[in-house]
Structure 1
Amino acid sequence: MNAYEKQIRRALRRKKAAPCIPENSYFLSRVAKAASAAIEKNISARAFTAPPPHIPGDFMLVLTPEGASHAAQALSGEVPFIARGEAQGAFLNLFLNRDAVYGEVLTEVLEQGNRYGTTAGDGTPVIVEYSSPNIAKPLGVNNLRSTLIGESVARLHEYTGRAVLRDNYLGDWGQQFGKLLCAYELWGDRRKIRKNPVPELKELYVEFEKRAAEDPSLEEKARALAQRLETGDRHLTALWKKFRTLSIRDFKKMYGRFGISFDAYGGEHFFVEEGKRAAEACLAKNVCTRGEGGAVVAEFPELPGFILMRSDGATLYHARDLAQLAFRTQELKVRDIRYIVGGEQTLYFRQLFELAKRIGFMAGSEALHVGFGLVLAEGKRMSTRRGTSVEVAELLERATEKAREVIAAKSPDVSPREREAIAEAVGIGAIVYNDLHQSRERDISFDWEKMLNVEGGSAVYLQYTHARILSLLAKVGGAQSAKPIFKEGEEYFLARELAIFPFVVSRAAEHDAPHMVAGYLERVAGLFNTFYGKVNVSGTADPALRASRLTLSKAAGQVLKNGLWLLNVPLPQRL
């Protein structure tokens, strides 16, 4: 059993789903159940949407004209939690007994605290494979998208009752390492590499590409070294292991700044021999054939053909990834695997999954490619080979420096130590939210000003709103209300939005879509700031109403905290 297998088996044994709230126990689910009983039609609370501002009502349901008319009549009698229903074409507008319903919602939020928004699943394990950088290169912005989206997807699945295994499957094998070894032996400076290993290795790789463009013989030397590495050359294997160890050490430092850790660090090299056996098994089952020179080839209808193993016996990506998939589904018995990999690899995963199905590795299991758009620089994909990739370390430094400037201008009384902690949180938040607030399928144009706009970016707006709530609660103090009451429309609108958080999370997890949570949090922050601007909470004379407004504020803060945790956006205590 190799090191990766030990890591992943150990993680699988100890992983348990966190305690979550059954979805049907949320108060809004009970409202939906009461409505379902009255109109004799099963309705989920997930179907509840807030109507546009010009349409009265608390929630809106899309039915048919006949269904909406029937439902409005059925809801005219005494129905728990519901005052009445009104039909407008195919839409049913629900009017709730607001004080009772929203009071219960606020109580629910505060009682459940950090668990509010979770929904109990079946506890089954899911492997989320993400980040997956190539070794011997610093983490770049290209890897960052997979890292940030993958971490949020993992948290969404944890929040919906799954046992999540975070797997970082490194690019640590293939022809590119022949190039790196060639460059190291020709031009490598041992002292520089000992002092600053990963950046120096990256520079060697870039240097090889430049020189190989002028001297094609270098490519031949690199292929020969890659072949020697594949066959177990001791000297080259020792160098390669050194490069891998140094790379993981460097990656962990950067992941740590983002609050990310993995259960296992895999890699293609763990499945080289298994990949060869997988290719032979495909031949034995007539799923693949021998091609030119004896290479193992797969050809399926409606998909381009591809090679698993070259004529010299060297495995390619499909063979190694097929062996890894077989290990996960056949040995670990994991039935759900998510690959957080760029959308440009869609065809590759279609080929891989089709191959796995035909050989029998997918029976009872589901593997999904969760794709995302590219990071572009001047309209072109960033590339280490061309030297156009931006490193995450540089991005983080520039983000935190920009945040320091803003904090120094706005909060000069903050101590240097606290300013540094806030700058780190704001800078990281700006980077994370810049990616996650939009649909993952979209390409992102790399723009320093946009990415580091900590004043105008939505992340700092959400962080600031949360910090404002903490400040309000500390300033006003006093007990919150056990039975909240409401006076202004803005209070109802905010409470209504808080009620749907669990169902937003469920939909986001179902679609592996963090941007759904981001959009929701922006609505919550906007509603709270509108409420805060209209209502003087600390100046509310009626003690019961003041306590109720503090309860509403605290509940909004809790939901913002929970939602930003799902996005992995850090929360400073003040801004």
Structure 2
Amino acid sequence: MYAIERFESRCKKAIESILKRSVELEVPPPEIGALFALPCHGLSKYPEELAGELASKLESLDIDLVGKIEARGAYVNFFPSGEFYEIVLREILQKGDDYGSGEKKDEVIVIDFSSPNVAKPMSVGHLRSTIIGQSLYNILTFLGYKCIGDNHLGDWGTQFGALLAAFELWGNEEELESDPIRHLFELYVKFHRESEKNERLEELAREKFRLLESGSEREKELWKRFVDLSLREFQRIYDLLGVKFDYVLGESFYYSRAKRLVQRALEQGIAKISKGVVVIPLEEFGLPPLVIQKSDETTLYSTRDLATIEYRLEEFSPSKMIYVVGAEQKLYFKQLFAAARKLGFNCNFVHVDFGLVTIGGEKMSTRRGKVVLLEDLLREAIAKAKQVIEERNPLLQNSDEIAKIVGIGAVIFNDLKGDRIQQVDFDLNRMLNFEGDSCPYVQYAYVRGRSILRTAGVTKVTLESVELLSDYEKKLIELLSFFPRIVKLAAETLKPHYIAQYLLDLAESFNSFYTHCRVIGSPNEATRLAIVSATTHVLKSGLSLLNIRAPEMM
């Protein structure tokens, strides 16, 4: 248990021993200066009187790590002792980048994220699922869970019938070889434009997919080429983002299992035929039925998703399955999870939804070709980062690699710093803002700290005792102490923005400390070097949880 957790736990136990009831503490506003506060509003008709009485009784208990207890209005505020600051610094220096991590757990969590559609370029719209999912994977793994990241590729379905039909009508082998994804994307867009004028094209697409599902060698061979070419393109972008998966299994992997699942659901009376299609009724959940087989006996992505759940339960025995998919799919996931339970698939299913990425307020659409390609964005971010870095530090060595770290980090952090449920309107200038509320601001705080340690000539900081601390030092150490709590909050809510916002606060607090507290050559140099070292550990660790690297120089 970390110092901040012990502090909170002991305060609660002391309060509960007096009140004979359970209580919850809250974190007061920064201007109060306390670590925790007990609101007394719901505990008595006279909350201010109760706060005063409690403070007096608690002061006499001599609670470990607590220095002062004070009633302010209807709140009892708890302030740390001098010992608390020393314990926090020792914890961080001892654990290093692992400060805030949890003990290894037996629990397995499957995280389904990214999941782009094959034969289409990855757009900025794919960024959210990819980096939110990777961040959650990092956070939960950091806390000791066994995580399995699965990139459930969209490589099956009617859209591939459309693509096969489009290639047959307008495809060009030379263009496919020279620039495969762009050519396939152009064909996909053209097909849907033309199908608005010619309804027979949709019939052709359905026939092509039926042939693919029935095992036609011609369609299967061409489909395999599309998949292989797409995977090569996707991997290049994942490498740029530093994203990794434990499994990359497309919908096609589950096709045979999905067909068997339909048959079994019908035999068990869980599914029924309605108007020529097979559905799983969900009236008892207050939901519309889930269609799992079309009238031409082909499967849908819902069928393959159910087969995927079955496979994951058999293969990994997870306690939880997390799906990082946009908020527009809320109804579908309610249906999917309800159908899974009817089929006897027992697991804690969680839909981690997020707001859309828009361009000028308009939703992006691959059918209409209205997209901003993710790779273009990342390359532009790197180029701009290099320009800014070279203006600030023309003699910086290895500027290309540092520009990559800063540019990619800026894009990731911009997306993760806000609550994931909010809609993100695509704005390149905001993503690449290098001032204030941005990733470079946090990264530069880390670089500044590392520079101090190099100048001091220390590689490993040790702490003998903590000298008299200024308010700037106390505030910084208090903020550092909250890191384990913030990581747990991000995990419990499945919202990485708590870590991003914490890092911004930590960088600001460190910059205030840097401005007002001389480190090298000061009478308190040893203590202040320990504070600097502890801060760099937490900044680096926090950025890493968001899948962002911390450069040594900028």
Query: Do the aligned partners of 2:449 and 2:533 also contact (CA within 8 Å) in 1?
Result: yes
Match for residue 30 of structure 1? 6
1:494 positional shift:
0.4
1:60 aligned residue: 37
Is 1:567 the counterpart of 2:546? The answer is: yes
DSSP 3-state at the match of 1:119: coil
Kindly tell me: are residues 446 and 317 of structure 1, through their superposed partners in 2, closer, same or farther at Cα, counting changes over 3 Å? Answer: same
Indicate the residue corresponding to 1:533 in structure 2.
Answer: 515
Give the SS at the match of 1:367: strand
Amino acid in the other structure paired with 2:311: F
After TM superposition, the structure 1 stretch with the greater mean CA deviation from structure 2, 390-399 or 275-284, is: 275-284
Q: Deviations over 1:215-235 (max 9, x none)?
A: 332222222111100111011
- On the 8 A contact 1:330/1:361 being kept in 2, the answer is no
- Aligned mates of 1:103, 1:59 — CA distance in 2: 19
Displacement of 1:45 in angstroms is: 12
Deviation at 1:202, TM superposition (A): 1.3
Q: Is the 8 A contact 1:170 1:265 kept in 2?
A: yes
Answer yes or no: is 1:399 the counterpart of 2:375.
no
Q: 1:273 aligns with which of 256, 266, 272?
A: 256
Q: Deviations 1:275-321 (Å, cap 9, x if unpaired)? A: 22222222223222211135445342521233210122111122111
The number of residues matched between the two structures is: 542
Describe the superposition over 1:175-232 as per-residue Cα deviations: whole angstroms up to 9, x where unpaired: 1101111111222221221222222211221122222233332222222111100111
Task: Name the amino acid aligned to 1:556.
Answer: T
Q: Does the 8 A contact of 1:436 with 1:515 survive in 2?
A: yes
From 49, 63, 68, the equivalent of 2:27 is 49
Q: Is residue 81 of structure 1 aligned with residue 65 of structure 2? A: yes
Could you tell me which of 170, 181, 187 is aligned with 2:153?
Answer: 170
Question: 2: CA distance between counterparts of 1:573 and 1:481?
Answer: 23
Is residue 290 of structure 2 the alignment partner of residue 306 of structure 1? Answer: yes
Shift of the 452–56 alpha-carbon distance from structure 1 to 2, 3 Å rule, reads: closer
User: Contact 1:382 / 1:389 at 8 angstroms: preserved in 2?
Assistant: yes
Deviation, structure 1 residue 456: 4.6
CA displacement, residues 309-338 of structure 1 (integer Å, 9 cap, x when unaligned): 012211112211111112222453222110
Contact map agreement 1:375 1:445 (CA 8 A) in 2: yes
Aligned to 1:547: 526
The answer on 1:504 being equivalent to 2:480 is no
SS in 1 for 2:249: strand
Judge conservation of contact 2:290–2:336 (CA < 8 Å) in 1: no
Determine whether 1:244 maps to 2:246.
Answer: no
Aligned partners of 1:32 and 1:43 also within 8 Å: no
Is the 2:105–2:146 contact (alpha carbons within 8 Å) kept by the matching residues of 1?
no
Q: 2:453 aligns with which of 447, 465, 473?
A: 473
2:81 is matched with 97
Tell me, which stretches of 5 or more residues in structure 2 are unaligned?
Answer: none
Q: Deviations over 1:338-387 (max 9, x none)?
A: 0000010000000011111122112xx21100000000112221111111
Of 212, 217, 234, 1:234 maps to 217
Q: Which amino acid aligns with 2:30?
A: P
The CA RMSD measured in Å over matched residues stands at 2.1
- C-alpha distance 235-506 of structure 1, shift in aligned 2 (>3 A): same
Shift of 1:449: 1.3
**Are positions 1:111 and 2:94 aligned together?**
yes
Per the alignment, do residues 220 and 275 of structure 1 end up closer, same or farther by CA in structure 2, a change over 3 Å counting?
same
Find the counterpart in structure 2 of residue 129 from structure 1.
Answer: 112
Q: Secondary structure at the match of 1:368?
A: strand
Q: Which letter maps to 1:427?
A: G
- Report Cα offsets for 1:249-297 as digits up to 9, x if no partner: 2111110111111111111112222222222222223222211135445
- Confirm or deny: 8 A CA contact 1:504 1:516 kept in the other structure: yes
Residue number among 330, 336, 352 corresponding to 1:346 in the alignment? 330
Is 2:137 the partner of 1:158? no
Give CA deviations for 1:159-189 in whole Å, capped at 9, x if unaligned: 1110111100001111110111111122222
Output the amino acid matched with 1:414.
Answer: L
Please, what TM-score do these two structures have when normalized by structure 1? 0.90
The amino acid that maps onto 1:291 is S
For 1:176 and 1:379, locate their aligned partners in 2 and report how far apart those are by CA, in whole Å. Answer: 26
Distance in 2 (CA, whole Å) between partners of 1:335 and 1:517 is 25
Q: Name the structure 1 match of 2:417.
A: 437
Q: Does 1:488 align with 2:470?
A: yes
More displaced 10-residue stretch of structure 1: 483-492 or 256-265:
483-492
Secondary structure of 1:383's counterpart equals: coil
Deviations 1:127-168 (A, max 9, x none): 001000000112111111000100001111111110111100
Candidates 263, 270, 294, aligned match of 1:287 = 270
> What's 1:556 paired with?
535
Moved more, 42-51 or 271-280: 42-51
Q: 1:373 aligns with which of 355, 364, 370?
A: 355
Deviation at 1:36? 4.0
Q: Which residue of structure 1 lines up, in the alignment, with residue 200 of structure 2? A: 217
Gap regions ≥5 residues in structure 1: 1-23
Q: Is the 8 A contact 1:338 1:367 kept in 2?
A: yes
Of 201-210 and 380-389, deviating more is 201-210
Q: CA deviation at 1:481?
A: 3.0
Residue 425 of structure 1 contacts residue 572 of structure 1 at CA under 8 Å; is this kept in 2? yes
What SS is found at the alignment partner of 2:79?
Answer: strand
Aligned to 1:12: none
3-state secondary structure, aligned to 1:143: helix
Q: CA deviation at 1:398?
A: 1.0
Partner amino acid for 2:483? Answer: F
